[in-house]
Amino acid sequence: MPTDAARPVLRREIAGASVAALAKEHGTPLYVYDAEMIRRRCRDLAAWDTVRFAQKACSNIAILDLVRREGVMVDAVSTGEIHRALAAGYTPHAAAGSAAAAGLPPVHPIVYTADIFDRDALDAVAKLGIHCNCGSADMLEQLAERVPGASVTLRVNPGFGHGHSQKTNTGGEGSKHGIWHADIPEVLRRAEWAGLSVTGLHMHIGSGTDLAHLAEVAGALEQVAREIGRSLTTISAGGGLPVPYKPGEVHADLSGYFTLWDATRKKLEDVFGHRIRLEIEPGRYLTAESGYVVTEVRAVKKQGGRKYVLVDAGFNTLARPVLYGSYHPMSLCPADGHARPEPDEVAVGGPLCESGDIFTQTDGGFVATRSLPAAQVGDLLVIEIAGAYGFVMASNYNSKPLPAEVLVDGGTPRLVRARQTPDDLIRGERV
Ligand code: LLP
């Protein structure tokens, strides 16, 4: 049975707020975010002209508002995400003159990135004048029909990709994403025929990859940029920046990564004779480490030789372990406030009526164990680094309400989404 050697950890606070008090006031399971951690991660990327938050990672409008105040732009992959961006104070167009001062081409505060327009998304981008990053050539004619003369970004699949899981690899033949690199000449003809101007180029090869793979993208992008030519004003390195989840993992060398992309940008500026805006599009990097799921231990039991700690959060709350075998650090906040010096080797599971509802599992659904401080019913178990692809992938499976979300800033917690009620669960249904 695989296990990890992580030191059992006790945790009584999140960003200066008491875990016990948070659970008492808001109930469990509960998502808690550390505002200052998100700000810190935004500022880590200050060298880039534009940091564009891939809000699919964590789209609560309070979080979007927070990153907006840090000067971060936003990506939207659906009409719902456009709606969220607007609700958080983003506008489709930047204030006039804001980019000219830096000698840079204008920025699009909201970009719609997808491989298709569903009909409501096409209506929304046309009505609001939102810039589109097109991952298929069919999108070009559909957009041109509604917004004649629009400028567009092309999302290009460079023919290779990498992710923390095969399910998050977005490049190569195994991925549906982006316009295939070899099709660029043909797609440029289609864009010209449709009367569109190609001003942006974007590549995103996968999520949770490593810098060695990401670095290969800069060269691939440069090649396609030369094919597009002087209409190009913005290049985007996409997202994919990793964060350390497991003990022993470390943060990536961001300054080396920027230097690499900056060199690519400068080369293109020399070729084209004008400034090029350099964007990065992280999701996970900005919010993963800020987020915690606070759960309550509701049962501790043995199945033969294996001990299970069952909590009130399941894969309805945090789906990453069941989907990808993802590892999330865990800590314990004992109910009695006392230390629990004795470590225990346990599997951690949730309340759902499905065997796969296990947080300590490896890819393929194999149950693993974790060394945790000995847990008792009533203790709080905190699942960490859950701020990216956490709440946004939560579901109502087993008719469980979506949890509340709390943002802690300066030690003060603020409820930013109320827990769903039983009536929320059946809203819109008819007998
Ligand atoms: N840009 C594009 C076009 C993307 O498709 C994504 C992620 C990102 C940026 C942000 O990637 P990040 O910086 O967060 O790695 N549910 C999975 C991750 C799916 C990512 C989908 N696209 C997980 O929990 O790991």
Counting DSSP H helices and E strands in the chain, the numbers are: 12, 22
Residue 227's nearest CA partner among 194, 253, 191, 257 is 191
Which pair of tokens denotes residue 414?
A: 């603020």
d(CA 183, CA 157): 10
Q: Tell which atom from ligand 1 comes closest to the C-alpha of 168.
A: 19
pLDDT of 2 reads: 39
Q: Which residues contact 101 (CB under 8 A, 6 or more apart)?
A: none
Is residue 132 part of the annotated active site? The answer reads no
Q: Tell which atom from ligand 1 comes closest to the C-alpha of 389.
A: 24
For ligand 1, the distance from its centroid to the CA atom of residue 207, given in whole angstroms, is: 5
Q: Tell which atom from ligand 1 comes closest to the C-alpha of 57.
A: 14
The mean pLDDT values, 10 residues at a time, for the chain of 431 residues are 56 97 98 98 98 98 98 98 98 81 88 98 98 98 98 95 87 93 97 98 88 88 97 97 94 94 97 98 98 98 97 98 97 88 93 97 94 96 98 98 98 98 98 97
Angle formed by the axes of helices 35-44 and 61-69, nearest 10°: 40
For ligand 1, the distance from its centroid to the CA atom of residue 203, given in whole angstroms, is: 12
Please give all residues whose beta carbon lies within 6 A of any atom in ligand 1, as ranges: 54, 57, 113, 168, 170, 204, 207-208, 238-241, 281-285, 320, 388-389
For ligand 1, the distance from its centroid to the CA atom of residue 284, given in whole angstroms, is: 7
Kindly report the protein residue whose alpha carbon is nearest to atom 6 of ligand 1. Answer: 239
Q: Tell which atom from ligand 1 comes closest to the C-alpha of 283.
A: 14
Kindly report the protein residue whose alpha carbon is nearest to atom 16 of ligand 1. Answer: 389
Beta bridge partners of 382: 294, 331
Kindly report the protein residue whose alpha carbon is nearest to atom 24 of ligand 1. Answer: 389
pLDDT of 330 reads: 98
Residue 136's nearest CA partner among 184, 174, 91 is 184
For ligand 1, the distance from its centroid to the CA atom of residue 239, given in whole angstroms, is: 7
d(CA 420, CA 423): 8
Over the range 267-279, which residues count as b (16 or more CB within 10 Å of their CB) and which as e? ebeeebeebbbbb
d(CA 308, CA 351): 12
pLDDT of 402 reads: 98
pLDDT of 214 reads: 82
d(CA 310, CA 360): 11
Give backbone dihedrals phi and psi of 410, rounded to 5 degrees, phi first: 60, 35
For ligand 1, the distance from its centroid to the CA atom of residue 387, given in whole angstroms, is: 13
Burial class of 282 by CB neighbour count within 10 A (0 to 12, 13 to 18, 19+):
buried
Kindly report the protein residue whose alpha carbon is nearest to atom 20 of ligand 1. Answer: 207
Which pair of tokens denotes residue 34?
A: 């550390």
d(CA 241, CA 209): 7
Q: Which residue of 53, 55, 56 sits with most ligand 1 atoms within 8 Å of its CB, as the best mutation to test the pocket?
A: 56
d(CA 132, CA 119): 14
For ligand 1, the distance from its centroid to the CA atom of residue 101, given in whole angstroms, is: 32
Whether the CB-CB separation of 57 and 389 falls below 8 Å is answered with: yes
For ligand 1, the distance from its centroid to the CA atom of residue 214, given in whole angstroms, is: 13
Kindly report the protein residue whose alpha carbon is nearest to atom 7 of ligand 1. Answer: 207
d(CA 21, CA 30): 12
Whether the CB-CB separation of 222 and 268 falls below 8 Å is answered with: yes
Q: Tell which atom from ligand 1 comes closest to the C-alpha of 208.
A: 15
Residue 412's nearest CA partner among 7, 33, 28, 3 is 33
d(CA 102, CA 341): 56
**DSSP H or E segment with residue 200:** strand 197-202
Q: Tell which atom from ligand 1 comes closest to the C-alpha of 393.
A: 16
Kindly report the protein residue whose alpha carbon is nearest to atom 23 of ligand 1. Answer: 389
CA distances from 251 to 239, 245, 282, 338 (A): 15, 10, 14, 33
Kindly report the protein residue whose alpha carbon is nearest to atom 9 of ligand 1. Answer: 239
pLDDT of 7 reads: 56
Q: Which residues contact 76 (CB under 8 A, 6 or more apart)?
A: 55, 82, 84, 85, 110, 111, 112, 113, 130
Which pair of tokens denotes residue 244?
A: 């350390």
* Active-site option among 42, 134, 333, 353: 353
d(CA 333, CA 10): 6
Q: Which residue has the tokens 């796969």?
A: 356
For ligand 1, the distance from its centroid to the CA atom of residue 50, given in whole angstroms, is: 17
CA distances from 165 to 80, 137, 310, 397, 421 (A): 26, 27, 26, 23, 34
Q: Which residue of 155, 202, 207 sits with most ligand 1 atoms within 8 Å of its CB, as the best mutation to test the pocket?
A: 207
